[in-house]
Amino acid sequence: MATFITFNIYLFYGLVFFAIGCVVVFRHFKYSQLSISSTLWALALFGFSHAFHEWSELYVILFQDDLPTQYQYIVQWLRLIKLSLSFAGLMIFAWLLFRIIPKPYSKLGQILIGLIVITYTLVMLIFYQGTLILADTFSEAASYTRVLLGFGSATLAGVGIAIYGYQLRQDNHEYGQYFIATGFGLVIYGVLAGLIPTSFHSSVPVFRTIAAGLVLVTLYKALKIFDIEKEAAIEAKLKRAIGADKY
């Protein structure tokens, strides 16, 4: 029964992130005048890569006892690498966001991102060299990854997209509230995925899925503006074509 529950939780968990990637990929940005449109590819990258990470984690969780001993070391390194790469996509998204929001937020955000990346790189190098006693296991390295990259990238991305949404609200664009809600969801997910280990309680993946679901729903509503922009552009082209035919 426990295996069945775990399977369904991680299956749906990964599916939510895959859906986040799809929500972005299947939007039309060609006619968009919104500056955030140039940053969303990184969010889609995070969605797809994190979905792959969670689904592959499911395989390891279910079949880790059947893995040959000689492959245990390689599997642990692969788990750490794919976790880092998935959060790297979110960190890139945060970096791009802070390039389109006004000062002083942009400079502060980029400085924090730079410090996090440098700190994480140094920690991983020390871990790899085996000179840090506290990081003599892969679980320790994964903890550093979740705290620095996971919590750091999700929180900064959440704050960045919330600031962007607030700007839109200041300009009387109602859809800005959905970007703010998306940022709120990212911060919650950052806390759950970065600061609360999976081993803390069996319900942790469930709450992470709920937080990711909040991001998915609010992002879907926020990105509807791109469909509206596309329809408006097509309508304008049709009007110009009809006007040209009259002459």
CA distance 35 to 202: 40
pLDDT in tens, 95-152: 999 999 988 889 999 999 999 999 999 988 877 776 444 445 677 888 889 999 999 9
Q: What is the overall mean pLDDT for the chain?
A: 85
Residuewise pLDDT in 10s, the chain (247 residues): 577 788 888 899 999 999 999 999 988 777 677 888 889 999 999 999 999 999 998 888 877 777 777 777 778 888 888 999 999 999 999 999 999 998 888 999 999 999 999 999 998 887 777 644 444 567 788 888 999 999 999 999 999 999 999 998 888 778 889 999 999 999 999 999 999 988 888 889 999 999 999 999 999 998 887 766 555 555 556 566 565 555 5
CA within 13 Å, CB half, 224: 12
Query: According to the model, what pLDDT value does residue 130 have?
Result: 61
**Residue-level pLDDT at 247:** 52
Global pTM reads 0.87
pLDDT of amino acid 41:
94
The predicted pLDDT at position 240 comes to 60
In 3D space, the residue among 86, 96, 68 whose CA is nearest the CA of residue 13 turns out to be 86
